[in-house]
A and B are shown apart, each in its own frame.
Chain A
C-alpha cells in the first residue's frame, strides 16, 4: 500500500504549482465540502483520529468542536508554521513543495469552524518558503479558490501570511497569538484556551502545517481510508525529520506504528561511518532521550513512545553515535532553552540559565560532587510550575540524560 499522503507530490516537477496540484486531484473536493454541513466536516475529522502534528498531539476534530458555534464574534484559524523545535524540518518542505495542500486544508478547516480570516504564522527565517506560499495563495485567489464567494458557494475566506521575527517561543500557540497581535511573543495563561478566547479575543483554532495538510486526504477519501494507515490508537501517517549521525538525513513520511529501527537503519541509511548508535531523541529536542537499546525496540506511535517514557512530539529524530558526549549534547540544549526562555516565569528564566551554567562548568572540567543532584533539583523546580511548557522541555532532557547516561556526567564531577 502506498503510504504517502502528505508527500505524494514531492517527487513531481513543479509540485508547488497550482496546475500540478490540480492535476493530482487537488481542490476537486471543494464542491463536496461546500455541500456538507460544517458539523459533519468536524465529525469526519474526529472519526479520522487525526491528532495535532505540532508537538502536543491533541485530537484535531475535538479541538475544533470547542469553538463556540453561537458566538457572535468572528472566528480565526492560525496555522502554526513557526517550525522551531530543534531537529524538526518537515513543515518547511510542506510549504516549499506542496503549499496548495496546506491552502486546501485551510479552506476545509475554515469552513468547518466558520472562519473567514485565516493566518499563517511563519518563522521569520523562512524567507523562501514564505515566498513559495505567497505565490501559491496568489494563484488560489486568481482561480477563485480564495476570496469572496468561493466557487459560488457563498463562503468567503481570506488568507494572510504573517512573518515572525526570530523567537522560538512564538511556536507556542498563545505566544504566537500575542505575536500576531503585534505584541511581545510571550505565552498567555491557560485557560481560557484559544478555541474560546484566542486571536483578538475571539474563538481561534491553532493547528500545525502538517495537521492541516492532512485534511484534503481525509475529506476526499473519508475517515476510514485515513484510518487504514497507522495503528488503531494512532491512525494516519506522519512526517519524521531525521538528522544527526546518519548516512541519509531527511524527511520520511511513514504510517504511525513504524519501527524506529527501520527508519534509522534503512530509510535514513544507518549510522554514519559505520559507527555504533548511542542515543536517539525521537520527537524533537524537548522529549526524553532514548538509549540505543530502547530506540531499536520501539515503534513510532503515541502509545509505544509513551510506554518507553518519551513522546512523539514534533517527529524530529536526532541520532547520536558512540562518539557523542552526552554532557555536551545536554549543554547544547540547555543553551537553547535558556536563550529562548521568554523570561516571564522565574523557575524557567532562572532554571534554564542556571542549568546551562552548571553544565558548562562541568564540560570545562570544573564539575562538583553535588552538580548532578543540583541539576535534578533545578529540573524538579521547573517542570509543571510555569505558564507554558518550555520549562518542562528542558526538565525532561535533564532528567533523562542524567538517568540514562549518568556515568558520563559523574566522570566530569570531581568529588
Chain B
C-alpha cells in the first residue's frame, strides 16, 4: 500500500520546509504528520518521507527508530502509558499499572488487549511528577490517578 500525504498535510509540510535552512530538519515534523495521518508509520510512509527529503529510506528508518513515540507498528486505538519513574513510583504507579492490566485484560506490557482497542505501556518521567501517579492516554495527561478515576476514564472511552 503506497503512502502519500493528504492535501492538508501536503500544505502543512510545505510550510514546515520553509522554516528550516536544511531539508533534513523537516524529518521529525514529517514523521509526525505521517503518524497523525495514519496512526502509525509504515515502511511505505518512511519511503515517502525519504523521497520528500531527498534521503534513503534506510536513513529515515535509522532516525525514526531512535524515538520511542514513533509507532513503527500499528497500536491500539487507546494507548495507556503509565509513568514508572521515581516520583510516580513513590506515589503508587505500580498499583496503577497492575490495576490497568487486570481491567484491560492485558498480560504483558506493550501488548494490546484482546479486542485490539487498548495498548498498555510503561514509560519514563513525563514531566508531571507533582501530580503523580499519572499516565498519558494518546495525547492527554491524566493526573493524580486513583482506581476510581481509572474506572471513569475507561468508561468514557468509546
Residues of A within 8 A of B (CB): 74, 83-89, 91-92, 117, 123-128, 158, 160, 162-168, 179-186, 200, 241-245, 249-251, 281, 285, 316, 318, 320, 324, 328-329, 332-333, 335-336, 339-340
B31 to chain A: which residues have CB within 8 Å? Answer: 165
In the complex with contacts A163-B29, A182-B53, A251-B130, A87-B67 CB distance below 8 A: no
Main secondary structure of the interface of A (DSSP, over half): mixed
* B120 contacts A by Cβ under 8 Å: no
Is A88 within 8 A of B127, CB to CB?
yes
Q: Choose among A200, A318, A324, A340 the residue that contacts B129 (Cβ–Cβ < 8 A).
A: A318
Decide if B19 is an interface residue (CB 8 Å cutoff).
Answer: yes
Contacts of B126 in A (CB 8 A): 125
Of A86, A165, A332, which one neighbours B28 at CB under 8 angstroms?
A165
Known: A181-B25, A182-B24, A340-B124. A87 touches B140 (CB 8 A): no
Q: A167 is contacted by which of B32, B62, B66, B139 (Cβ under 8 Å)?
A: B66
Chain B 110-142 near chain A by CB (<8 Å), digits 1 or 0: 000000000000011111111110001001110
What are 26 of the A-B contact pairs (CB < 8 Å)?
A84-B125, A86-B85, A86-B124, A89-B127, A117-B21, A127-B140, A164-B67, A165-B70, A182-B28, A183-B63, A200-B22, A242-B130, A243-B130, A243-B132, A244-B86, A244-B87, A244-B91, A245-B91, A249-B131, A318-B86, A318-B87, A318-B90, A318-B129, A332-B86, A336-B85, A336-B124
Q: With the chains together, A336 CA to B19 CA distance in Å?
A: 34
CB atoms of B68 and A166 under 8 A apart: yes
Q: For residue A167, which residues in chain B have a CB less than 8 angstroms away from its CB?
A: 66-68
* A residues near B20, Cβ cutoff 8 Å: 160
Query: Which of chain A's residues have a CB closer than 8 A to the CB of B84?
Result: 332, 335
Q: Considering the complex, give the chain B residue whose CB is closest to the CB of A249.
A: B130
Determine if B45 is an interface residue (Cβ-Cβ < 8 Å): no
Let me know if B46 is at the binding interface, CB within 8 A.
Answer: no
CB-CB contacts below 8 Å: B9-48 with A: 19-22, 24-29, 31-32
Which of A244, A250, A320, A335 has most B Cβ within 10 Å?
A244
Chain A residue at minimum C-beta to C-beta distance from B35 = A165
- In the complex, which residues of chain A have a beta carbon less than 8 angstroms from the beta carbon of B136? 125
Measured CB to CB, the closest approach of chain B to A237, in angstroms, equals 18
CA distance A181 to B28 in the complex (A): 9
- Enumerate chain A residues within 8 angstroms of B124, measured Cβ to Cβ: 84, 86, 168, 336, 339-340
Measured CB to CB, the closest approach of chain A to B16, in angstroms, equals 9
Pick the residue among B66, B85, B91, B132 that contacts A185 (CB under 8 A).
B66
Which of A128, A160, A250, A335 touches B130 (beta carbons < 8 Å)? A250
